[in-house]
Amino acid sequence: MPLILLPNVLHDGESDLSLLFPKALEEKIGSLQGLIAEDEKEARRYLKRFNFPEGRSFREVPIKLLNEHTKKEELNALLEPIVKGETWGLISDAGLPCLADPGAHLVLLARQKGVLLDAICGPSSLFLALMLSGLGAQNFAFHGYLPREESLLKARIKMLEKESEVEGRTQLCIEAPYRGQSLLNILIQELKPNTLLSVCVHLTAPDQEILTLPVIQWRKNPPIDLQKRPAIFLFLAQK
């Protein structure tokens, strides 16, 4: 039986799932014999959004954890029930499994073991940011979290900007919500005045904001107040 990669919402307030997910998702959820997730509380909240067959509750679905604390040697145990014939799902707090998410390690191991894999599409903050920023996705790279140490962070930003200028590449990165404002301030400070910088905040939420401007314009205006909201940062250097 398969491991099914399932889409998740990008913010807790999303209520109309029909606008985000295909109809087939609810049927898949109802057939699951287990769910692999980053956090048990969030996994229960996810399952509660869906209707289950009569006589079955979201509370009965077994949950196993896969997050940044999971060791590689623990991945085999996560796949054991699937290898034995059960159908399990995999979700991510980032919208889609394997994108900015530890699920990629599990999927690779599943392939090596010959486990059948299936996937259902849904919202991805990374791809929504590419679509909405206007910076283009003909050539892009996602770099995850940049270095925390300020000197290393500034050096990495300069290197990525040079690469963007030479290759015409849109660069994407993320940061923990509580550190997002600091990263934005450093990007505004370190990038060249004509580099295009886009910040996509709390995507799909009612307070969603997308702002794309040359850095020189960011410097003239007060930067967007991230208020500890999740954001995607993109920039594209101009020759």
Q: What is the pTM of this model?
A: 0.87
Report the pLDDT value the prediction gives residue 99, as an integer from 0 to 100: 86
Q: Is the pLDDT of residue 15 over 60?
A: no
Q: What is the percent of the chain where pLDDT is above 70?
A: 97
Report the pLDDT value the prediction gives residue 185, as an integer from 0 to 100: 95
- Encode pLDDT of 178-233 as tens digits: 999 999 999 999 999 999 999 999 998 888 999 999 999 999 987 788 989 999 99
- Return d(Cα 21, Cα 51) in angstroms, integer: 14
- Mean pLDDT along residues 142-169: 97
SS3 of 188, please?
A: helix
Report the pLDDT value the prediction gives residue 26, as an integer from 0 to 100: 86
Report the pLDDT value the prediction gives residue 66, as an integer from 0 to 100: 94
Report the pLDDT value the prediction gives residue 46, as an integer from 0 to 100: 92
Q: How many residues does the chain have?
A: 239
Report the pLDDT value the prediction gives residue 181, as an integer from 0 to 100: 95
Q: Is the pLDDT of residue 21 over 90?
A: no
Report the pLDDT value the prediction gives residue 75, as an integer from 0 to 100: 95
Q: Is the pLDDT of residue 39 over 70?
A: yes
Q: What is the percent of the chain where pLDDT is above 90?
A: 71
Mean pLDDT of the chain: 92
- Mean pLDDT along residues 125-147: 94
Q: Is the pLDDT of residue 38 over 90?
A: yes
* Cα distances (angstroms) measured from residue 128 to each of 137, 143, 200, 238: 11, 16, 9, 22
Report the pLDDT value the prediction gives residue 16, as an integer from 0 to 100: 63
Report the pLDDT value the prediction gives residue 102, as an integer from 0 to 100: 85
Q: Is the pLDDT of residue 137 over 60?
A: yes
- Return d(Cα 152, Cα 53) in angstroms, integer: 53
**HEC assignment per residue over 42-75:** HHHHHHHCCCCCCCCCHHHCCEEECCCCCCHHHH
- Return d(Cα 31, Cα 21) in angstroms, integer: 17
- Encode pLDDT of 80-130 as tens digits: 999 999 999 999 987 899 988 889 999 999 999 999 999 998 888 999 999
Report the pLDDT value the prediction gives residue 13, as an integer from 0 to 100: 66
